Amino acid sequence: MERTVAKPDRTAHDRRMSEPLPTRRDPLREAFERDGFVGPIEVLSAAEVVEVRDAVAAVIADLARLAPRLYEVERAHAERPDEVVCHFLGGWLVHDRLRRLVFDERVVGPAARALGVETLWLFHDQVFAKPPRHPGVVPWHQDYSYWTRTAPAQHVTVNLMLDDADERSGCLMFVPGSHRWPLLPKLPFDAPLEAVRAHLPASTVFAPVAVPLRAGQATLHHSHTLHGSGPNGSERWRRAAVLNFVGPDVRVADDSAPLLRGADLLPVGAAVRGRYFPQVWPRNEPSPGLDAERP
């Protein structure tokens, strides 16, 4: 008598093998996708804050001499320092401590998680500095309105506080969910805080949330999230190091000029990467002597 041997159900087996493996939930990414921002996250120790704060102070004290080696120094601040926030781009090019900051895994790791990417490149860094009792504001804006020469929008911003910041000293404010809004017009840096609201439809729900931070903590936000900060009405400084990163899909959309002053000219369609746009995640090392090559 022949025995009948049951054959395995290959169809069911193959179906199970083709199903995606369950992924672990990431609360940071979920908050980023839901609200367009997340924070606070812990980044620097108290001693490290002092190091970065000293680096920022050194650059500001020598800003006139260093300006040609930076990407940009806010012109309105140079003309009206008692009214406009001190703001410059490219500190990583001229100070080693700021250079090391843009490669810090505690900064770039959460940024990559927020975007949901495995690789990340530096776009540029910035510094915002408000002295005590300074009336300067950063008007409500979406970062991508200044970055439309790159596409698609796969950018993330890390705002790292170098001083304790609350509503009185002008901490960052965000409008939850605004990363799903259309792109709003680009405004001058010295525009009034509320200027962009004239461009919002009457039906828009404008419900900002202030995010106080301690020195050494940071927030992350989407390139389309509406955000801004008020004047510093406190007796202490309000300084921030801001790091802007791009994911692997970002390309040059306009090659009429370099993306940043003094950077290499990249052609339309080229990936935003190179010696001025180094890979930061997985960790890579900065280009040696880059600042010496600046004009």
pTM for the full model?
0.88
Alpha helices in 36-187 (DSSP H): 46-61, 63-66, 75-79, 96-102, 105-115
CA distance linking residue 116 with residue 177, whole number of Å: 18
Contacts of 134 (CB under 8 A, 6+ apart): 82, 85, 231, 232, 238
CA distance linking residue 231 with residue 136, whole number of Å: 5
For residues 160-164, average pLDDT = 98
On the CB side of 242, how many CA atoms lie within 13 Å of its CA?
19
Task: Tell me: pLDDT of 92 over 60.
Answer: yes
Domains of the chain: 26-254+270-285 (2.60.120.620)
Q: How confident is the model over 176-230, as pLDDT tens digits?
A: 999 999 999 999 999 999 999 999 988 899 999 999 999 999 999 999 999 999 9
CB atoms within 10 A of CB 293: 12
Q: How confident is the model over 143-158, as pLDDT tens digits?
A: 999 999 999 999 999 9
